[in-house]
Amino acid sequence: MNYRKQKEVNIDNKGMHLKYFIIIFLLLILLLTFRLFWLQFVDGASLKERAYKQITANRMLSPKRGTIYDSTGKALAVSSEVDTISINPSLITVKDDSEKTNALKKKVAKALADIFELNYEEVLVKVTSTNSIETIAKKVDADKVSELKQWMKDNDCYAGINIDADTKRSYPYENLASNLIGFCGSDNNGLAGIEYHWDDTLTGTPGKVTTSIDATQEAIPDNDKKYIAPENGSNITLSIDANIQAIVEKYLKQAVEENDCKNGGSMVLMDPSTGDILAMATYPDYNLNTPFEPNETLLKTWDSLSSEEQTNSLYKMYSNKVVNETYEPGSVFKTIMASIALEEDIVKTDTPGDFYCDGKEYVAGETIKCANLAGHGSQSLRNALENSCNPALIQLGQRIGASTLYKYFTAFGLFERTGIETAGEASSQFHSLDKVGPTELATMSFGQRFTITPLQMITAACAIANDGVLVQPRIVTKIENPDSGAITNIDVKEIRQVISSETAAKVRDMMQSVVTDGGGQSGAVKGYSIGGKTGTSEPNPSHPEDGYVASFLAIAPVENTKVVALLSLYGLHGKNHYGGQIAAPVVSQVLNEVLPYLGIPSNDSSQSTSGSSITIPDLKNKTISEAKQYLKDLGLTPITSASDDELITSQTPKAGVAIPKDGIVKLYTEENNSSVSTTVPDLKGKSLSSAISSLKSKNLNIQATGSGIVIYQDPPADSSVEEGSVVKVTLQEVTTDLH
């Protein structure tokens, strides 16, 4: 009985177990069915997308940034093909083996650090990162990429290492026009200057390619490959000429360094009829290929600066003084004042005794002194410009009145930006008309206690040179789509007629008198008619540390003007701070090279005022003996260490250069070809005969322009040059009215 009951109990238990099993099984089937349903119909789309992403690779195709050309077709900014190296840390693994995975990550980090010359510890942090992607190196050149590919092949290590096409921006001429052109960051976006302002035009649109990939990250051929081609950035052509720019930068650098200009200098050349900027320079400049490194000037104090000061100093280094900064224009502004007075028929150019200067002018209880403390006496308007007489211009400003002045300042565009197509154009700062009292009117009349940009000043002056028509400055002349070849030309934009052509002609004529008879005589260029105006701005009393600003404004030729030039030198503190003394000679040297380069004919064929000049013949392949006799017959002195029977292979100066009689010619042969260097002496303040003697003692030649004492020389004092080289000097008679 007990046995039977026990058996029945066991059977019941088994039945219950089976029942539970069936229930659990059915529940599992139900859950599985539900899961399949969920995966199929609810999560299906997202899972499909995840699966697709796991077997596909998206590569961004960088567009090529447009090239920046000068007006002659020279490439000033170019983009070359490079690569960016990145990694997917999660794919750099050995399956189910953490120890081998760690070893692999260290191996990859070591290889990447060695190939790209990076810090190993920093690379290892990226390789072991939990981020989906890490960038290892940008803008990598082809040789480094080849080295990486070879390592990947040798080590059979592909997964997680990406090589993506990219472009690298470079600047073939390095410092040339650096403050105008600007530069790009690591992402190829413009950060300053033309590069920043025209970024949308230059950048283009990225493309994309989507492909299936295998475990080695190689593409798998299939029909699902998608390719969207990048649209390359457009090319732009600037109005500047690289050759003219180089001439301007050479003489600007020399002027800033020789005169110890604490705040540097700027120079701009402009075609008045088109508004084209032929050259625009700031010094100190910087290397566009290394824009985050301090230039030579900044490097002198770099280590003593805080990090914030270093950052601010770099921003200052990038500044284009012509466009981004304002200044008090000083006496060059008197050309604008004269234009207004003549246009309003308030004054004539040559009325004797129209103004009187006894060395000072009393205005609202204040004494404003003339640079010539003895005074200029009775003067016409022409005399006042020649002498750059402040009291005369104060009297002129009082006749015109503030409201009329402001009407013309508006017409000349001085109250608004010029609209030039580059970054960061600054705004002028004037007193509001209701705040212009007698003192403000007086100082304004000779160009002080208001600020404008040098670009605004030269644009207004160009209106005078362009028969009274104001033209907007143009820096970009055309845009080219490199894919289609389509070209968009940027038209010349005439803004308004500011003064009559008759008034403009009268002002140009007076500007010529400033150069022929007044304080701008050192701005003359032999063989050309030059008009000019000197400028010397005193430091604002509230900021004496800013020093003086010396400037010179020039037009060339006076009739049918092709070039207007403005040079400004900032932060002068010594006695020699007058524009006529230190700025005018620099402009003269620039125009002396630029005008012939532009094909503007000279009306004087002589090349030197230091006596009769002799053009050096080509002596190559002549024997030393023949060359010696030939040069002696010409009145020149041959210098050589070679034997008489050796053949000449080179000479200094080169053939075609004109030097005075008794000049020196160095002769070299294949056996005796070692040139000798010498140091250029300081010639400033010397007479012509003394300068010739000093140079001759150094076996150097001279080319001289003008008469009197030397006020300018090129190359500058202490330069190292080859014996036989030519030193150009400008001389001027001593005069006191050079401001």
May I ask the CATH class of domain 613-732? alpha beta
Q: Is the pLDDT of residue 224 over 80?
A: no
Find the mean pLDDT for residues 228-234. Answer: 85
In this predicted structure, which of 21-35, 292-306, 625-639, 722-736 has the lowest mean pLDDT?
Answer: 21-35
In this predicted structure, which of 285-299, 423-437, 617-631 has the lowest mean pLDDT?
Answer: 617-631
Pairing between β-strand 531-537 and β-strand 548-556 as defined by DSSP bridges: antiparallel
**Residue ranges of the domains in the chain?**
2-54, 58-238, 323-480+489-597, 613-732
Residue of higher predicted confidence among 238 and 215? 238
In the block, tokens 């010619």 appear at: 665
In this predicted structure, which of 68-77, 448-457, 671-680 has the lowest mean pLDDT?
Answer: 671-680
Q: At what angle are helices 501-517 and 334-343 packed, to 10 degrees?
A: 140
Q: Rounded distance, CA 507 to CA 397, Å? A: 16
Confidence of residue 432 (pLDDT cuts 50, 70, 90): very high
pLDDT of residue 374: 94
In this predicted structure, which of 13-17, 104-108, 326-330 has the lowest mean pLDDT?
Answer: 13-17
The per-residue pLDDT for range 311-357, each reduced to its tens digit, is 999 999 999 999 999 999 999 999 999 999 999 999 999 999 999 99
Find the mean pLDDT for residues 38-52. Answer: 57
pLDDT of residue 707: 79
Q: Rounded distance, CA 102 to CA 105, Å? A: 5
Confidence of residue 604 (pLDDT cuts 50, 70, 90): low
Find the mean pLDDT for residues 377-389. Answer: 97
Q: Is the pLDDT of residue 668 over 50?
A: yes
User: Which CATH number is 323-480+489-597's, of 3.40.50.150, 3.60.70.12, 3.40.80.10, 3.40.710.10?
Assistant: 3.40.710.10
Q: Is the pLDDT of residue 674 over 90?
A: no
Residue of higher predicted confidence among 32 and 709? 709
Q: Is the pLDDT of residue 173 over 80?
A: yes
Contact 515, 557 (CB under 8 A): no
Q: Rounded distance, CA 257 to CA 260, Å? A: 5
Give the residue among 652, 614, 388 at the shortest CA–CA distance from 520.
Answer: 388
Q: Is 36 helix (H, G, I), strand (E, B) or coil?
A: helix
Largest CA distance in the chain: 155
Average pLDDT, the chain: 89
Find the mean pLDDT for residues 381-390. Answer: 97
pLDDT of residue 54: 46
Q: Rounded distance, CA 211 to CA 225, Å? A: 5
Confidence of residue 205 (pLDDT cuts 50, 70, 90): confident
pLDDT of residue 230: 78
Q: Rounded distance, CA 608 to CA 617, Å? A: 17
Q: Is the pLDDT of residue 226 over 90?
A: no
Contact 398, 440 (CB under 8 A): no
Signed CA dihedral, 234, 239, 243, 249: sign only: negative
Q: Is the pLDDT of residue 64 over 90?
A: no
pLDDT of residue 165: 76
Q: Is the pLDDT of residue 217 over 60?
A: no
Token pair of 327, please? 């200044």
Q: Is the pLDDT of residue 98 over 90?
A: no
The per-residue pLDDT for range 49-58, each reduced to its tens digit, is 554 444 445 5
Confidence of residue 215 (pLDDT cuts 50, 70, 90): very low
Is the domain spanning 58-238 CATH 3.90.1310.10? The answer is yes
Token pair of 264, please? 């540097």
pLDDT of residue 576: 84
pLDDT of residue 6: 58
